Chain A
Amino acid sequence: MEFLQPATWEEALEARAASRDAVPIAGGTDVMVGINFGRLRPALLLDLTRVPELQQWGTDDGAVRLGAGVPYARVITELGDRLPGLAMAARTIGSPQIRNRGTVGGNLATASPAGDAHPALLAAGAEVEVASVRGTRRIPVADFYRGVKRSALADDELVAAVRIPPRTGPQQYSKIGTRNAMVIAVAAFGLALHPDRRAVGTGIGSAAPTPRRAPAAEEFLAGELDGLWESRAELPPATAARFGELVAGAAAPIDDVRGTARYRVHALSVMARRTLTWAWADYRKGDPACA
């Protein structure tokens, strides 16, 4: 087995193009489990941790451009104000040690339906920036997930960054499943209110073959909030309940060892109703970012 540790992004892309069955490694929190148990026997390991561009974030074109290799711990401490939904999701991932190494880029490339970054990225309306020696393209995150652990990444491409619009209103993340090392979400839900666009963003995790949005719920709620954005009046409980039902209706869950499909649907409706209630309460209090 070979090991390559490129020091530049160009070298990394060339190595990826030259060896299509190379396995990239960032934080290693998914890859190493496969290696330690012999499930993964790559001919070439491509270490991305020494590529400076991947370890940085900045703002570009109004969006936060988060390098694929920035660990969750830094998302939490450095971006909690701009990307609260993603930071909340990151706080629930694995354990502190996992969060010191695990990355959003690795979560995206693994594309597990249970990955915690996904609902937050869907709700925020993020784009994945992928690159190869052929060039760079941006993929709306909702189109990035293609099946259970399958993504739109071609075999010569790497995830360069994820571009996330900073919050303009309250965001929430909720996950069912005890939060501790080794816990995979039974179901998860991300919500973002976008008062600037009078829009609502949602993301569902662990309740369909891929992470997905709940478009009917988003449209319904945006309609109900028409007028309320300005008045900041109370949200009728029936609206929150209906929103919860529509979110649950977007799921296509399975029964497995972690929970039944029925439980997941129920849990989603409850999480959607609660997160909306919290987010709207924040908005009514004059959520600082909407001033």
Chain B
Amino acid sequence: MAEVELRVNGTSSRVQLDPRVSLLDALRERLRLTGTKKGCDQGACGACTVLVDGERILACLALAVQYGGREITTVEGLGRPGRLHPLQEAFIRFDGFQCGFCTSGQICSAVGMLAEHRAGVPSVVTPRLAATATPLSEAEIRERMSGNLCRCGAYDGIVDAIQHVAGVDDRAATAEPAADR
């Protein structure tokens, strides 16, 4: 057994666990944060996407004990009923889901993706030598979200929701640089 301090959504907990337990199982079964889903347990579906220090990773391919002391954010930490994250609101408004199983992973992934895009990270469809600030076209969003599968095929709504939030972000960024939400 190993002991690890898990810092999730701003709350710190000391957990005793077998070192081979994934971060996904630790979140769901030890901390009872079941918003993060297990689709495949092998890195292929993205349902388990969470943010670690703001970066999107797959909780099923992470060992819980590797992440002691790191700042972990799950879908539960993004927004609350009545005070949703803009992406959560946009997923509802644009029908970004049907059964909802992939949704928490999609939303956490989109949060990480928008941060990557703001930081100027290129994708495989970004024109060669393009500097920063390539707009988030539909093709860019689809490529950058390619690690998140949706068995219900709600992709059009997902893309619309993200594009909406990205557009709002862009405008906020150019109009008032200090804008915060």
Interface residues of A (CB under 8 A from B): 1-3, 5, 25, 27-29, 32-33, 35-37, 45, 47, 49, 73, 76-77, 80, 91-92, 94-98, 100-101, 179-182
B43 with A29: CB separation less than 8 A: yes
Kindly identify which residue among B2, B112, B146 contacts A181, using a CB–CB cutoff of 8 Å. B146
Q: Known contacts A2-B19, A181-B146, A181-B147; decide if A36 and B42 are in contact (CB<8 Å).
A: yes
A95 with B121: CB separation less than 8 A: no
Tell me the minimal C-beta distance from A180 to chain B in angstroms: 5
Alpha-carbon distance A169/B55, docked complex (angstroms): 33
B65 with A47: CB separation less than 8 A: yes
**Closest 5 A-B residue pairs measured CB to CB?**
A95-B147, A3-B19, A182-B44, A32-B61, A91-B124
Question: Chain B residues with Cβ under 8 A from A91's Cβ?
Answer: 122-124
Alpha-carbon distance A29/B44, docked complex (angstroms): 11
Q: Report 25 cross-chain contacts, Cβ distance below 8 Å, ordered by A residue.
A: A3-B65, A28-B62, A28-B66, A29-B58, A32-B22, A32-B61, A33-B61, A45-B20, A47-B63, A76-B121, A76-B122, A77-B120, A95-B147, A96-B116, A96-B147, A97-B109, A98-B61, A98-B147, A100-B55, A101-B62, A181-B43, A181-B45, A181-B146, A181-B147, A181-B149
A100 with B124: CB separation less than 8 A: no
Question: Chain A residues with Cβ under 8 A from B2's Cβ?
Answer: 3
B19 with A45: CB separation less than 8 A: yes
Give the contacts of B33-47 with A (CB-CB under 8 A): 41-46
Tell me the minimal C-beta distance from B119 to chain A in angstroms: 8
Question: Chain A residues with Cβ under 8 A from B56's Cβ?
Answer: 96-97, 100
Tell me the minimal C-beta distance from B106 to chain A in angstroms: 12
Question: Chain B residues with Cβ under 8 A from A35's Cβ?
Answer: 20, 22, 63
User: How many contacts between A and B, using CB within 8 angstroms?
Assistant: 109
Question: Chain B residues with Cβ under 8 A from A94's Cβ?
Answer: 43, 147
- Verify if B113 is at the interface (C-beta below 8 Å from A): yes
Q: Digitize B144-177: 1 where CB-to-A-CB distance is under 8 Å, 0 elsewhere.
A: 1011110000000000000000000000000000
- Verify if B60 is at the interface (C-beta below 8 Å from A): yes
B42 with A5: CB separation less than 8 A: no
A179 with B124: CB separation less than 8 A: yes
Tell me the minimal C-beta distance from B121 to chain A in angstroms: 5
Give the contacts of B5-53 with A (CB-CB under 8 A): 18-20, 22, 41-46, 49
Question: Chain B residues with Cβ under 8 A from A27's Cβ?
Answer: 61
Give the contacts of B54-80 with A (CB-CB under 8 A): 55-58, 60-63, 65-66
**Which residue among A76, A94, A95, A181 has the maximum number of chain B CB atoms within 10 Å of its CB?**
A95
Closest-by-CB residue of A relative to B50 is A97
B42 with A33: CB separation less than 8 A: yes
Give the contacts of B112-140 with A (CB-CB under 8 A): 112-113, 116, 119-124
Tell me the minimal C-beta distance from A16 to chain B in angstroms: 17
Question: Chain A residues with Cβ under 8 A from B123's Cβ?
Answer: 91, 96
Question: Chain A residues with Cβ under 8 A from B109's Cβ?
Answer: 96-97
B121 with A28: CB separation less than 8 A: no
Closest-by-CB residue of B relative to A182 is B44
B18 with A1: CB separation less than 8 A: yes
Kindly identify which residue among B19, B20, B46, B65 contacts A97, using a CB–CB cutoff of 8 Å. B46
A49 with B49: CB separation less than 8 A: no
B116 with A28: CB separation less than 8 A: no
Closest-by-CB residue of A relative to B68 is A5
Question: Chain A residues with Cβ under 8 A from B20's Cβ?
Answer: 1, 35, 45
Q: Known contacts A32-B63, A181-B146; decide if A101 and B124 are in contact (CB<8 Å).
A: no
Alpha-carbon distance A25/B18, docked complex (angstroms): 16
Question: Chain B residues with Cβ under 8 A from A29's Cβ?
Answer: 43, 58, 61
Alpha-carbon distance A36/B41, docked complex (angstroms): 7
Alpha-carbon distance A217/B119, docked complex (angstroms): 40
A1 with B113: CB separation less than 8 A: no
